[in-house]
Each structure stands twice: as structure tokens, then as C-alpha cells.
């Protein structure tokens, strides 16, 4: 049995302006599907999230979406995935996603993706011993998360986080790095 089965993917509801972002998102979804992982994501059809979900499904994977009512009303709910869980709000969505993951992948995205990363990192920093924290794999495609990496280092240098807090964070620049970590 895999150590990491339920992989939560946080990512943008837009494609971004670098073609590497949607390309990576699709390849990641395909790799998760072919690899037998259960992808859990925000439940939408739009942007990188829809692309990753479609690719995972096309590769024979199992995909669960967790979507708040506000996006159902905007007709963004992905009805073509394995399971769609409808929740009342974003807070409930994030809570369910955090509780569902054995590992977390952060693809390029905006403020919502940053919020999901922050909430997940903070949750496990508070509630889990350092050695039992799930991995958080940050897909640093074309250096999009270089400033975030610098910020974490700045917090460490200034005494706001400890070295062990960063042990579960992995900045990855290739799909192979991510899959190697998931399969290790």
C-alpha cells in the first residue's frame, strides 16, 4: 500500500500567462491518475484545477472535488469527476481538504492558493509533531514560488519559524521530483 494515497492539489482557477503552468498541471494530473493516487482538489472546471482533474480522470484516476456553494452557483462545479462534495463555504472546503490529504501539492495560483497553502502549513505546524507532518510539495514552475521560498527563509532567519517547521516543505521544479517524493 502506498504511504501517500490521497493527494490534495491546490492550484489556480486561472491558467496564468506562462504556458508552462497549464502544461505542468495537465502532466501532474495524468501522473497522479496513472500512478494510482486519489486526487482531491477544489471541485471546479476552470483554470489549472479543471485541467488537472480532467487529466487525472482521462488517465484512469480517481478524483474527488470539494466545492463551496458560491462556485456551484457560478456553474463551475465539475460533474465529470469521480465524486463531488458540495459544502456551504470556503472555510468548510479548506477544512475538509486539509483533513483528507496524506500529501499536498501546490501548483501555481493566486491568493486562494496561497491561503490554502498557509492554512495547511499552519494546521500541521500546530497540530502535528514535526516527524508526522504530511509533505507539502510546492511546484516551483519557472520560479513562480521563488519569492515564497525567500519569505520562508526570512521568517527562519528572523526567528518566526524553526528549521523543523520547514522539513515538510519541498520546493520542486520538476514533475519527476514531485512523483519521486510521493513514491518514496
- Per-residue burial over 40-67, b if 16 or more Cβ lie within 10 Å, else e, is bbbbbbbbbbbbbbbbbbebebbbbbbb
Per-residue confidence (pLDDT) for residue 2, from 0 to 100: 67
DSSP 21-80: HHHHHHHHHHHHHHTT-EEEE--BSSHHHHHHHHHHHHTT-EEEEEEEHHHHHTT-B-TT
Gap between the Cα atoms of 96 and 134, Å rounded: 15
Tell me the per-residue pLDDT of 112-169, one tens digit each, with 9 for 90 and over: 999 999 999 999 999 999 889 999 999 999 999 999 999 999 999 999 999 999 999 9
Rounded Cα distance between 166 and 154, Å, is: 12
The CATH code of the domain that includes 168 is: 3.40.50.450
User: What are the angstrom distances between the C-alpha of 115 and each of 2, 109, 141, 144?
Assistant: 28, 10, 19, 16
Residue 27 lies in a domain: yes
Q: Indicate whether 170 belongs to any domain.
A: yes
Q: Which domain holds residue 160?
A: 6-183
**Residue 16 belongs to a domain:** yes
- Is residue 1 over pLDDT 60? no
pTM of the model: 0.96
What pLDDT band is residue 103 in, cutting at 50, 70 and 90? very high
Q: What is the pLDDT of residues 35-87, one digit of tens each?
A: 999 999 999 999 999 999 999 999 999 999 999 999 988 888 999 999 999 99
Does the structure show a pLDDT above 70 at 34?
A: yes
Domain count along the chain: 1
Task: Provide Rg for the chain, Cα atoms.
Answer: 15
Tell me if 167 is assigned to some domain: yes
Instruction: List beta partners, residue 104.
Output: 8, 136
pLDDT of residue 68: 96
Q: Is residue 1 part of a domain?
A: no
| pLDDT of amino acid 74 | 85
Amino acid at each position: 500500500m502506498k504511504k501517500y494515497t490521497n493527494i490534495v492539489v491546490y492550484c489556480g482557477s486561472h491558467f496564468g500567462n506562462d504556458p508552462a503552468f497549464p502544461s505542468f498541471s495537465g502532466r501532474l494530473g495524468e501522473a497522479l491518475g496513472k500512478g494510482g493516487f486519489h486526487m482531491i482538489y477544489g471541485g471546479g472546471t476552470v483554470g489549472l484545477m479543471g485541467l488537472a482533474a480532467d487529466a487525472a480522470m482521462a488517465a484512469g484516476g480517481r478524483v474527488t472535488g470539494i466545492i463551496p456553494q458560491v462556485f456551484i452557483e457560478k456553474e463551475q462545479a465539475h460533474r465529470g469527476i469521480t465524486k463531488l462534495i458540495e459544502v456551504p463555504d470556503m472555510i468548510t472546503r479548506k477544512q475538509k481538504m486539509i483533513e483528507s490529504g496524506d500529501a499536498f501539492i501546490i501548483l501555481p495560483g493566486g491568493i486562494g492558493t496561497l491561503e490554502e497553502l498557509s492554512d495547511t502549513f499552519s494546521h500541521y505546524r500546530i497540530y502535528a509533531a514535526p516527524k508526522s507532518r504530511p509533505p507539502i510539495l510546492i511546484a516551483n514552475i519557472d520560479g513562480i514560488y521563488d519569492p515564497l521560498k525567500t519569505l520562508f527563509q526570512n521568517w527562519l532567519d528572523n526567528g518566526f519559524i524553526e528549521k523543523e517547521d520547514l522539513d515538510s516543505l519541498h520546493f520542486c521544479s520538476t514533475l519527476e521530483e514531485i512523483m519521486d517524493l510521493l513514491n518514496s
